Amino acid sequence: MVSDAYPRPFEGQRRASAAERGGLLAMDPLLLVAALGLIGFSLVTLGATTGEDIAHNPHFYVIRQAIYAVLGIALMLAIARVDYSRFRELRVGLYTAMMSTIILVLLLGEATRGSRRWIELPFFTFQPSELGKVLLITALAGFAIDRGRRIGERQRTARLLLLGFVPALIVIMQPDLGTGVVYIVITLATLFIVGVRWTHFALLGGLLAAAVAAVLVIAPAIGHPVLKDYQQERLTSFLNPSSDPRDATYQIDQSLIAIGSGGKTGRGQDSTQTEHGFVPDRTTDFIFSVIGERFGFVGAAFVLSLFALLIWRALRIMTLSKNLYGSVIAGSIAAMLMCQVFVNVGVAIGIMPVTGIPLPLMSFGGSSVVVTFMAIGLLQSIYVQARLTSKSRADLLR
């Protein structure tokens, strides 16, 4: 049985002022430095790489990314001023909103490259599955806490898996395999943090392995393939990157050439692979290839160090949270960030299949940037509330 083992604020503690709740001095400085450092490096990278992409508008990508960053930072500061525990009461509404938006995109979304993931709005393109990450984290954490008090452990595990895997399957149907995988990781992280037994994970691992075998091996062998040819090629081509350099493995080959040519300090203005468009999706899925070629090992190590700092602070905030709900949210956000970084960088260096996951705060894209800042705002809210709770206890003990 899961219990909210973390202490709650004292009933008699004073209300925090607005300055205490949301001031910059109240937030985690290292988390803020990591986030701002990543978005700043993204602007530098996009500015150095995309100057000739849009005729008569050399700063198109930089200006757009800066606008997304400003909007995201504003939302981060706003969320940091709110007590995250309030979202627990809104879990049903948050989950309903997530399901509604990702289903709506199947009906009204714009089709691009065979995928239906975006909704065209007057001033920008909105990707509901990105926002769904934060909504799933906050809603699923609330369900995990409350379910544990009312039902048995097996039923709780089954219900949480259902709540997490159903939206994941809908997103995969768009098709957006990468984001669907992130939803699954968020669900598993939630189960792990609330203390699901290892036997449940072992059974789930066996079922997932059987499902993968059925999709990739059994179904094609009996003449009823589940995946399209290009999807299966994407999932298997990384195992032999040189097998089809003009088609199936083209993206991975060009990415490896770009990163390898960067050397220790990068090629700077002589970055031919990324400058001349040999690397596809160089502003989004393969932006790490741009970093590797243009700034070399030093630049890549700097970016990965910022991500390490970001994830470390998320895990640290998980341990500082005033209650279990905050710990589940912080841990799930850390898992989401780790998954996205590992898969995106892994694709760029050829150790993961091409799945289309953006690099948080680095890849160009409004939905990804804004939602990542929203997640960081949740982390800041947890940190601020933990500090206020500790301060209230200290004041009462004086």
Residue 13: per-residue pLDDT:
43
Q: Let me know: does 145 contact 4? Beta carbons within 8 Å.
A: yes
What is this structure's pTM? 0.87
pLDDT at 251: 80
Here the tokens at position 147 are 């379910």
**Roughly how many angstroms between the first and final C-alpha of the chain, as a whole number?**
36
Q: Which pLDDT score, from 0 to 100, does residue 17 have?
A: 47
Tokens in use for 374? 């929203």
pLDDT at 397: 66
Check if the beta carbon of residue 225 is closer than 8 Å to that of residue 219: yes
Q: What is the model's pLDDT at position 203?
A: 85
Q: Angle of helix 153-172 relative to helix 198-213, nearest 10 degrees?
A: 30
Token pair 């080959």: residue: 253
Determine which helix (DSSP H) or strand (DSSP E) holds 157, and give its type and residue range: helix 153-172
Q: Is 11 helix (H, G, I), strand (E, B) or coil?
A: coil
Give me the pLDDT at residue 235, please.
64
What pLDDT does residue 4 have? 53
Q: What pLDDT does 73 receive?
A: 96
pLDDT at 210: 84
pLDDT confidence of residue 82: 93
Residue 339's pLDDT is: 96
Per-residue pLDDT, 8? 45
Query: Residue 323, SS3?
Result: coil
What is the C-alpha to C-alpha distance for residues 366 and 374, in angstroms, rounded to an integer? 12
Q: Across-strand partners of 118?
A: 110
pLDDT under 50: residue ranges of the chain: 1-3, 5-19, 22, 148
